[in-house]
Copies of this chain bind each other. A is one copy, B any other.
Amino acid sequence: MTPEELGRYLEERRLLIDEALDRYLPGAGDSPKEIHEAVRYSVFAGGKRLRPILILAAAEAAGGQVEQALGAAAAIEMIHTYSLIHDDLPAMDDDEFRRGRLTCHKVYGEAMAILAGDALLTQAFILLSAEIPPYPPLPKGGRGDLEGVRSPDSYAHGRASDAWGVDPEARLKVIQEISQAAGSKGMVGGQVVDMLHEDREVDLPTLQYLHEHKTGALIRVCLRVGGILASAGSEQMEALTIYGERIGLAFQIVDDILDLEGSLEALGKRAGSDLRKKKATFPALLGIEESRRWANRLASEAKQAVVIFGDRGAALAAIAEFVVTRRG
């Protein structure tokens, strides 16, 4: 896959995921509209949708269909967005900007931002446990052609069935893995350790632990969920897991480098903000050169792991390359 092909692929997927998020979130006018406005403000703030794209790519690599994985993909992005809203709060990282826009609490107030995060985390599980209609092929011209398709809400009181094209036990397994990755021994635990070490020296093992939990656990689970939804075998699951662990850490190392080098325009938040807060980063501990070398090595290992998927793994391989070469 050439960089141009990957660019088109990522853009196509991003649109598909935005469409799914639009369908699977309560409407901006749904009551109480204040919370749904705040939720949508943060969800549609222009993210790259890397995590949900990884779910789709993993499902396809393992021989599954994108349609089976779109619900879980939207759910993961909801959980990711909730974590950003709560991390940005005054009591946490106290960030005013995110992706170049004011953070949720700056626009809607602290109480509404806390509740918007709570709502998004809960909505992810509403979606994951819902009887979802098979996702229709997307029309070219936007949402118009989708009118009349039953929304997930209209299924909410029906019996959960096999509409995902996945048996109910596998869907429970997806909920189990996602909730563990997001919980106090995963993402939330990573944020706890991050909070506890603010303004304190940390060593490399602690920094690695922190990121493997705070961001790594959720990225890793994307690959596994894609695999589970596609009924991947154990060898495939192992390959996807290794890939997920490697690019999860590589992603964070590159994030640290970009934060150090970046500018407000490129990153959408104030450059060097980690440094200003004396947060531990990989370049601070290892230097930029060594950090880049490590990230590249992790990306190579990730690409090596997905060789077993042959052509179907091309997107995953290209994404691994993208993670370490991106400029923002």
Contact = CB atoms under 8 A, between A and B. Distances in A.
Contact of A122 (B89, B112, B179): B179
Nearest to A123: B183
Contacts of A193: 32
A175 B161 CA distance: 13
A92 B121 contact: no
A184 B35 contact: yes
Given A111-B195, A112-B195, A130-B176, 4 more contacts: A32-B184, A35-B184, A122-B182, A171-B172
Dominant SS at the A interface? helix
Nearest to A186: B122
A184 B123 contact: yes
B111 A92 contact: yes
A115 interface: yes
Choose among A86, A168, A192 the residue with the greatest number of B CB atoms under 10 Å from its CB: A192
Nearest to A33: B192
Contact of A173 (B35, B110, B126, B159): B159
Interface of A: 26, 30-32, 34-36, 39, 82, 86, 89, 91-92, 109-112, 114-115, 117-119, 121-123, 125-126, 128-130, 156, 159-161, 167-169, 171-173, 175-176, 179-180, 182-185, 188-189, 191-193, 195-196
Contacts of A26: 184-185
Nearest to A168: B168
Rank and list the top 4 A-B pairs by shortest CB-CB distance, nearest first.
A91-B110, A160-B172, A168-B168, A119-B184
B129 A179 contact: yes
B122 A192 contact: no
Contact of A126 (B156, B183, B192): B183
A309 B185 CA distance: 42
Contacts of A128: 175
A91 B105 CA distance: 11
Contacts of A169: 159-161, 168
B175 A175 contact: yes
A115 B189 CA distance: 9
A184 B192 CA distance: 26
Contacts of A196: 32, 34
Contacts of A39: 184
Contacts of A184: 26, 32, 35-36, 39, 115, 119, 122-123
A193 B91 CA distance: 23
9 contacts: A32-B196, A86-B118, A111-B195, A112-B192, A112-B195, A115-B195, A119-B188, A130-B176, A160-B172
A189 B31 contact: yes
